[in-house]
Structure 1
Amino acid sequence: MAGTSSKKQKRDNYRSSILQDGNSELPKKKFYRQRAHANPFSDHALTYPVSPQAMDWSSYYPAFVSKDEVPVESQQGQGNSVKRLTTSVEIADIGCGFGGLLFALSPHFPGKLILGLEIRTSVTEFVQEKIRALRSQQSSTSPDAAYQNTACLRANSMKFLPNFLPKSTLTHLFLCFPDPHFKARKHKARIVSPTLNSEYAYVMRSGGIVYTITDVEDLHLWMKGHFEGHESFEYVSEEELEKDGDVGVKVMRTETEEGKKVERNGGTKFVACFRRKEDPGWD
């Protein structure tokens, strides 16, 4: 127990030092390690807006918020005011882990807002601190500056994704190496399902792409089958995306922590991508 207490104290001291003003040191992963997966059905202590219009993004994208404040309603029903974004979030990584994909995507999409959503507390803090440090190192608050377009927040996407993102917002949605939930009784916790796919369709623009990757073939077939079986999505090959100059698959294959681990272990990466169809017209 003494050893555990000592490790916790060392971790807390390190995190406090990272937060000191003027410190631009990149955080070390060993002080933010946590269990690989979290139960999405647990009653996590989460903060979320009552609607996307009530979300205050000013601390996440300070270079992309307007000066004017608008009144909104909070979770408690009380009046509040927030600053609106000058542009909407277009790229999301659900279960972003330690943020490898976020940081790799940032220079490819200057001016477009990229959001990582992660349910684990310590892992979210690591990504947030790394973003803060990278921004501090280049000491520029211009929207065109590196990593100003990148943010991470703690959220349970299976429950609250539409609370953060308005309808028809995303052009890119990444589902990278999600928890396989091997046991059949836990398949309901998988990040892809008919119900969740409808939520993804809700927040995605027509023509937007969902990118999936895993090293578990059974999960790959599960995700592929559920997206192909959904009326709002159609399968799109890697070759077609490459022909269109899409960098999503290439970055997804090489830049996530899990992807690098699979590479080191000589494993196989299964990729499948799906385009959001246009909604049918009303008769």
Structure 2
Amino acid sequence: MAPTKNKRQKREDYRAALREESVTELPRKKFYRQRAHANPFSDHHLIYPPSPDQMDWSSLYPDYVVEGDPMEQNEPSETAADQSLRPVKPKRLSKDVEVADIGCGFGGLTIALAPLMPDTLILGLEIRVSVTQFVEDRIKALRAQNPDTKLYRNAGVLRANTMKFLPNFFKKGQLSKIFICFPDPHFKARKHKQRIVSTTLNSEYAFVMKPGGIVYTITDVPDLHGWMVQHFDAHLSFERVSEEEQEADPCVEVMRTETEEGKKVERNNGQKFVALFRRLEDPSYDAVV
């Protein structure tokens, strides 16, 4: 009699089956179990580029790869040996990633934004291995379900620690939207340094955002909402968006209803606290002087 598979083997077999290109079945969460939180200060053996120019996005957005890039052409006088010694250049995309969903969880928001902004590349960032794999398999299945359209070709997910490596992936002024949805509140005062919104991190968000870009925040924890508002209000690169403009933004309703945490809060009849912040223009040197 064949030995009974344990839960880990079942999860691995299930995920392996979903690696097939033709599989259109959406992944099931029970095969991607992992702890709810990860310590952002731990060494997670992550892979990240030394700079944004060296990041290869082609595997995440293959439909946007620029074919026949003249920058990749070999020099006429190059020998095969010369070519082998050249550093490998990442494949270029026809457009840059412009939207980042930080701590994307199981990808509800990233997936929902893709058809809402079909001409914009959207990236979910998640630190947990199994959860990242779930979102990757989910996007792959949705693409397979829509083979004759561009649906979900603009969505991608990456395992990354944004508290440490955000500027390694995005150049100055690249992003137009950043979403921070239901982040870990880290209630204990000694854990506040792990919050995803802080004076230091807000400066990094300001660096990677273009002027006029928007940071979207939502939480069901009043204390954390106050913390995020306080820190963004205190930062000279941001101003809070008016409630009227906030409620007119279609992304806000998607953020409220499509994240897994948002749905959980809805089921429990909880409150959701939303705040948006606009990236301001940097003052010119003459204005400062």
Tell me whether the two structures share a fold, i.e. TM-score over 0.5: yes
Cα deviation, residue 80, structure 1: 1.9
Bigger fraction of residues in strand: 1
Check the 8 A contact 1:227/1:234 in 2, yes or no: yes
Counterparts of 1:48-87 in structure 2, within 5 Å, are: 48-67=48-67, 68=69, 79-87=87-95
Match of 1:199 in 2: 204
Check the 8 A contact 2:21/2:144 in 1, yes or no: no
Match of 1:159 in 2: 164
Q: Equivalents in 2 of 1:129, 1:272: separation in Å?
A: 31
Match of 1:74 in 2: none
Aligned-partner SS, 1:79: coil
Gaps of 5+ in 1: 72-77
Cα deviation, residue 24, structure 1: 1.6
Quick check: 1:6 aligned with 2:33? no
Counterparts of 1:141-156 in structure 2, within 5 Å, are: 145-156=150-161
Q: Equivalents in 1 of 2:12, 2:35: separation in Å?
A: 18
Cα deviation, residue 69, structure 1: 7.5
Counterparts of 1:94-243 in structure 2, within 5 Å, are: 94-140=102-148, 145-243=150-248
Q: Equivalents in 2 of 1:202, 1:21: separation in Å?
A: 38
Aligned-partner SS, 1:85: coil
Match of 1:36 in 2: 36
Cα deviation, residue 13, structure 1: 1.0
Q: Equivalents in 1 of 2:33, 2:58: separation in Å?
A: 28
Task: Report Cα offsets for 1:34-57 as digits up to 9, x if no partner.
Answer: 111110000001000011110001
Q: Equivalents in 1 of 2:103, 2:243: separation in Å?
A: 22
Q: Equivalents in 2 of 1:44, 1:176: separation in Å?
A: 22
Task: Report Cα offsets for 1:212-238 as digits up to 9, x if no partner.
Answer: 001111110000000000000001123
Cα deviation, residue 20, structure 1: 2.4
Check the 8 A contact 2:211/2:281 in 1, yes or no: yes
Task: Report Cα offsets for 1:59-118 as digits up to 9, x if no partner.
Answer: 0001111122857xxxxxx82221111111111100000000011111110110000000
Match of 1:249 among 252, 262, 265: 252
Total equivalences in the alignment: 269
Aligned-partner SS, 1:230: coil
Q: Equivalents in 2 of 1:273, 1:37: separation in Å?
A: 25
Check the 8 A contact 2:97/2:174 in 1, yes or no: yes
Please tell me the residue identity of whatever aligns with 1:256.
T
Check the 8 A contact 2:98/2:121 in 1, yes or no: yes
Query: Structure 1 residues 5 and 43, CA, compared in 2 at 3 Å: closer, same or farther?
Result: farther
Please tell me the residue identity of whatever aligns with 1:49.
P
Check the 8 A contact 1:70/1:83 in 2, yes or no: no
Aligned-partner SS, 2:17: helix
Q: Equivalents in 1 of 2:275, 2:171: separation in Å?
A: 25
Quick check: 1:259 aligned with 2:274? no
Q: Equivalents in 2 of 1:151, 1:120: separation in Å?
A: 15
Task: Report Cα offsets for 1:1-54 as digits up to 9, x if no partner.
Answer: xxx971111111111111124222111111112111110000001000011110
Check the 8 A contact 1:69/1:83 in 2, yes or no: no
After superposing the two structures, state which structure 1 stretch, 11-20 or 200-209, moved more: 11-20
Query: Structure 1 residues 200 and 20, CA, compared in 2 at 3 Å: closer, same or farther?
Result: same
Q: Equivalents in 1 of 2:52, 2:5: separation in Å?
A: 40
Aligned-partner SS, 1:35: coil
Q: Equivalents in 2 of 1:64, 1:275: separation in Å?
A: 28
Match of 1:23 in 2: 23
Cα deviation, residue 240, structure 1: 1.5
Q: Percent identity over the alignment?
A: 65
Please tell me the residue identity of whatever aligns with 1:258.
E
Check the 8 A contact 1:117/1:155 in 2, yes or no: yes
Task: Report Cα offsets for 1:167-193 as digits up to 9, x if no partner.
Answer: 101111100000111110110000000
Q: Equivalents in 1 of 2:247, 2:54: separation in Å?
A: 38
